[in-house]
Amino acid sequence: MLPFRSEIRNSPSQPTIKIFLSDESLDERIKKHLEHFKEIEVIEIRESIGQNRVNENITVFLKDEVDINKMKQSIDSSLWWYFEEDNA
């Protein structure tokens, strides 16, 4: 099982990146890990709604004019590095 999955959500008000962790006990640590990105405006841990989902997700709100696709790639790369270091 993969340690995380991320998705872009294009809401009309503000596009977001949702991160679903396979181990929800890491939510706070991952939130803190992501705070170094200057392109991120707010990070929230939210209850997930829907089928076949974990109970919580990390929702990342980006600042205006940030390319959401590039940020998703950067966040994914950073999380893969995080989990590789954690398991080393």
Give mean pLDDT in consecutive 10-residue pieces for the chain, a chain of 88 residues.
92 88 94 96 89 83 94 98 82
**Tokens 């995080």 belong to which residue?**
82
Contact 19, 60 (CB under 8 A): yes
Question: What pLDDT does residue 1 have?
Answer: 79
Question: What pLDDT does residue 81 have?
Answer: 96
Beta bridge partners of 43: 60
Question: What pLDDT does residue 23 have?
Answer: 93
Question: What pLDDT does residue 12 have?
Answer: 76
Taken as a whole, the chain contains a residue count of: 88
Question: What pLDDT does residue 52 have?
Answer: 60
Per the structure, the complete domain to which residue 62 belongs is given by 4-87
CATH number at residue 21: 3.30.1360.10
Contact 1, 76 (CB under 8 A): no
3-state class (DSSP) for residue 57: strand
Look at the chain and report how many structural domains it folds into. Answer: 1
